[in-house]
Structure 1
Amino acid sequence: MTAEGPAGRSLVSKLVRFAIVGFANTGIDLAAFSLFLWLGMAPLMANVLAWAVAVVFSFAANSFWSFERDRTLGLISSFLRFVSLGALISLGVSNLSLIALTSTLGVWPAKIIGVVAAAILNFVAARWSIESRIGR
């Protein structure tokens, strides 16, 4: 078993690229979340809207730069897989973190904990939804 991808990009390269996109995506998510909170939205609604903004960027960057997209899926199918698994993981984990931790830690620490936990789960989900592979 090799760590090379279908076009020769190594798993390490994919991980590094995924991390770079993730940092940028986290910035977009936090900026949008902050804006929506500033506009007076409840934290859960702000989180859902910030997620929607960030997921579009994340899919575009990951499918065109981090991974080698499986062209047999088609762009829309790949996006739907990305949203239905990977992105919903991040939204679910982030919302659970806000619900469970906001009252004890505050909104921002709860949001950050949710972002970190979701990032770990999203690498596998993104690889499956974009490349149609998990362990190879």
Structure 2
Amino acid sequence: MSQQQTLTLTQKALRFGLVGLANTGVDLAIFAALVALAVPALGANIGAWLVAVCFSYLVNSRWSFERDTSLHEGWAFLRFISLGALISLGISSLAVILLPPRIGLWPAKILGVVVAAILNFFAAHWSIENRLR
């Protein structure tokens, strides 16, 4: 993308959503492969998340968002995975732990994924572009 072309927030959100779909596929494929190799479920989940978050950063920082070049890429990546861990793993885990007695397991999982995706968009926007608006 040329420096003169600027994406709107809507375009960024759509691209982020597409990357999220691909990222979900990466996560599930790695998880399935690790489980097939007899890695315990928690280890497989963490391993799959690590691969998926690296994939997500690579694609989002080069396609979904306009990376702030004044922000060192290592720092942007650290912010991205730190917030991703807090948001993705944290919110989805809390939803699955706290909400099933009230709304059921699958509605809780879906709600956790939706809330995490929305918050992850703004976290990724901040960690890659170094801005919140």
- State the superposition RMSD in angstroms: 2.7
Is the contact made by 1:18 and 1:62 (CA closer than 8 Å) also made in structure 2? yes
- How far does residue 97 in structure 1 lie from its aligned partner after superposition? 5.0
- How far does residue 18 in structure 1 lie from its aligned partner after superposition? 0.4
Give the number of equivalent residue pairs. 127
Is the contact made by 1:47 and 1:95 (CA closer than 8 Å) also made in structure 2? no
Who is 1:91 aligned against?
Answer: 89
Q: 1:95 to 1:36 in 2, by over 3 A?
A: farther
Q: For residues 95 and 45 of structure 1, what CA distance do their matches in structure 2 show?
A: 15
- How far does residue 85 in structure 1 lie from its aligned partner after superposition? 1.1
- How far does residue 78 in structure 1 lie from its aligned partner after superposition? 0.6
Q: Extract unaligned runs of 5+ from structure 2.
A: none
Who is 2:25 aligned against?
Answer: 27
Identical amino acids, percent of aligned pairs: 55
Who is 1:59 aligned against?
Answer: 57
Q: Normalization by structure 2: what TM-score?
A: 0.79
Equivalent position SS for 2:132: coil
Q: Normalization by structure 1: what TM-score?
A: 0.77
Within-5 A mapping of 1:48-127:
48-96=46-94, 105=105, 113=110, 114-127=112-125
Who is 1:42 aligned against?
Answer: 40
Off by >6 Å, runs of 4+ in structure 1: none
Is the contact made by 1:87 and 1:122 (CA closer than 8 Å) also made in structure 2? no
Q: Extract unaligned runs of 5+ from structure 1.
A: 1-5
